[in-house]
Amino acid sequence: MSSPQGHGLSYAAVASVCGAPPEVSPGGSAAPTLERAFAVPSRKAADGSEAGALRGVLGNIVMLLEGGATHVAVATDHVVESFRNDLWPGYKDGSGIEPDLLSQFHPTEDALRLLGVAVWPMIEFEADDAMAAGAAMAADDDRVRQVVICTPDKDLGQCVGGKVVQWNRRADEIIDVAGVEAKFGVSPESIPDYLGLVGDNADGFPGLRGWGAKSTSVMLSHYGHIENIPDSHDDWAPKVRGAAGLAATLAGERDLALLFRRIATVRTDAPVSDSVDELAWRGPHRGFEELCEGIGAENLLERVMNLAAYRADL
Q: Identity (one letter) of the amino acid at 107?
A: P
Question: Which pTM does this prediction carry?
Answer: 0.86
**Exposed, middle or buried: residue 202 (CB in 10 Å: 0-12, 13-18, 19+)?**
middle
pLDDT in tens, the chain (314 residues): 333 334 445 444 433 333 333 222 222 233 444 555 545 678 899 999 999 989 988 998 898 888 887 877 888 888 889 999 999 999 998 787 788 888 888 999 999 999 999 899 999 999 889 889 998 998 998 888 888 787 788 999 999 999 998 888 778 899 999 999 999 999 999 999 999 999 999 899 999 999 999 999 999 999 999 999 999 999 999 999 999 999 999 999 999 999 999 999 999 999 999 998 888 899 999 999 999 999 999 999 999 999 999 999 87
